[in-house]
Structure 1
Amino acid sequence: RFLTSRRAPREQPVAPFSYGQKGGTYYFPCQRWLAIEEDDGQIVRELVPVDEAFVKKDSENDGQSLATLGLEQKAKSTTYTVKVKTGDKKNAGTDANVFITLYGSKDDTGIVSLKASKINKNKFERGKIDEFTVESVDIGDLKKIKIGHDNKGNSNGWFLEWVEIDAPSLGQCLKFPCGRWLDKSEDDGAIERIIFPAGLQTTEYIPFVPYEITVYTSNIFGAGTDADVFIVLYGSDGICTQQKSLCLNKREQRMYFERNSVNQFIVELEDVGDVIEKIRIGHKGGGLNSGWHLDHVTVRRLLPNGK
């Protein structure tokens, strides 16, 4: 998920980076955090190049043109939700640094560190499920994974029950059963394993598409909110998306939707068709400062022809 804000509480995200070589200059805009405690928690990102014209236009328009490229970049990448189940055995949890590589029919993701669990602060504990986000350019159909750890820490052995990988843009959720130790003193002593998906446990559904949702909070006293803001999109023939929270956690809820702010999110949702007839947006209330004065919302998506 991409998100931007024109009133960020800290310094701005990474600026566009250019790499020059004979025959032209390649521009790789990022405008996202590489931080465990920010965004989706990733500290490594794959970037795709954009046309030089966008960068020149950006310098003339105070950075606004690159801010609109998130949707186009998202259309070229795949976001994977990775769930990892640690077994319910004595000493099954690990304090080691866990990594994963996804292998597709076209390419692989390279080694990705699983550092920021969306569910548990203390990750890879006995009997627990942790959830991570992995983002990559198109690697094709997912064929296998390699998962392991660096064997560091006081309790480094690990019993891995299974890994589940959901790719909404591909319309697939695959289960990778393991049920083995990754421990130098257990089983065969391996601390890395290559695992293939269980065909009978694969779920297929209609692929999701990326939407760019920009939320404008009004410029009046008390307009901002710290509540959990959600949105639903409605297309023709009664088709609608699931209710989607725009913030990942309470920390983001406190950062966004401030008075006179503009917050942009790139989210993957069900495809409601080429025409969006209406939206439903609101919040779940609760806590202090939950009241919100919303000015307006814009929604943009790429049509099949790329426009």
Structure 2
Amino acid sequence: MTSAMFRIGGDLRVRRLGFGAMRLPSDPGPAREASLAVARRAVELGVTLIDTAHMYGWGANEELLAEALYPYGDGLLVTTKVGVAQSASPAGWRLDARPDVLRGQVEHALRRLRVERIELLQLHRIDPDVLLEDQLGALRELQTEGKVGRIGLSEVTVTELDQAQQIVDIASVQNRYSLLDREHEPVLAACEAAGIAFLPWRPVAMATSDASAEIAAVAAELNATPAQVSLAWLLHHSPVILPIPGTSRIEHLEENLAAAYLDLHPTLLDRLDRLAE
């Protein structure tokens, strides 16, 4: 069996299988009420790590989580991300990690989440137009002021992680990664060597027909779903992996979290490992 817990930064203890809140609708109405119910059910089921970001609804997702969960129970970590701003571009957003922008987004997050300190704050993307020292220096200042506990990164290379570690202590990395998408395996290896939490986003990737058939076959042997097998593989693959699958449906949430109890014996792990070849 895999360990169910991990200490982010060496001291912040969370359950390894968390919840990504990005998919929760926040506009008023029945969909919002359903979102509140999903967030509350996640905590009822033992989730202690919930991931959000300034970019998710431009603060609306943070406000939604506060409405659902405040006052937060002991041990519940709501982590957020900064460094992306709205724009008039077709994408509707741009990277913006200027120190004053980062500080402003952190101040807004503190207010929206109704906290005095964000225990884990992640830089959503490194902004190529701003010196890395300035970006991380701004977060370090907020850390010194007691407004941020630990600093993480998102979508970084091994080189960028190494450079960042020369400036601040890095507690987490959030990169795209899954059973069938292992582009960032070197980053995972670097995190594992340093004891850094690795939070894979999009942890259940779309599969090719051959891969889908093999995952489905393993799932059938375990009386599980392919998504559960994919999440269980992540938990077995590295002790620093903390998956944060997201959903807007309670039944899907319950299915995802049940993956923590799925035991993959070595023969099955070997079959799944070979899918990336």
Largest Rg, 1 or 2: 1
- Structure 1 or 2: more strand by fraction: 1
TM-score (norm 1): 0.28
- Structure 1 or 2: more helix by fraction: 2
TM-score (norm 2): 0.30
Q: Which has the higher contact order (CA 8 A, sep 6+)?
A: 2
